Amino acid sequence: MKDFKIWKTIELGTHKNINDLETAIQKSKMIIGSWAKDVLYSKEFILSNNKTSLDLFRITPKELGYPTGVTTEVIYNKIFDFGLSLCPLEVGPQLRLQYKNQPLLESLQIGMRQQEDTKGYKSEFRVVHAVDGKLWLAGDHKHKDNFWDPDEYFIFCKKI
């Protein structure tokens, strides 16, 4: 079984409420897309009560054994074979805030339980350094049958 290396460690529980976290992202000159904001303010989004560190793993479908790509559902089921897990919802906005030196054009799909946004769509976070040089917390409307290229980056954590 492949042993994935820790890619980055972030802190959770750094803000008292969602408004404070959103303000911190905006003060850092980062952008929160409207779909991401819908997820951020969904009824299931909660922040950690205590500060805690969380190790993250950046993985591609190819590294999971899918050289031609694969669906979201297959990826999310496969990660458990490697002792990994879906990320807590807070990872998306926290990674955006704490990953200030993200390479241009890099896009990271946050492996997380899909959230119903305020319009009823299933969405996930994506952390992006866009072609215009802006750092984004984006939201993607996804479903279990979405097909991913083999080199697409996903973020997961250890089982918690």
The confidence score (pLDDT) of residue 44 equals: 84
Per this entry, what is the length of the chain?
160
Residue 44 CA to residue 8 CA, distance in Å, equals 25
Task: Look up residue 11 and give its two tokens.
Answer: 């802190």
pLDDT band at 151 (very low <50, low <70, confident <90, very high): very high
Tokens of residue 117, six digits: 């946004």
**Does 2 reside within a domain?**
no
Structural domain tally of the chain?
Answer: 1
Residue 1 has pLDDT above 60, yes or no: no
Q: Is residue 3 part of a domain?
A: no
For residue range 70-90, list pLDDT tens digits in order.
999 999 999 999 999 999 999
* pLDDT of 121 over the 80 cut: no
Rounded distance between C-alpha atoms, residue 24 and residue 135, angstroms = 13
- Inter-residue contact 140 to 123 (CB < 8 Å): yes
pTM assigned to the model? 0.94
Determine the structural domain holding residue 83 and report its residue range: 8-158
What amino acid occupies position 132? D
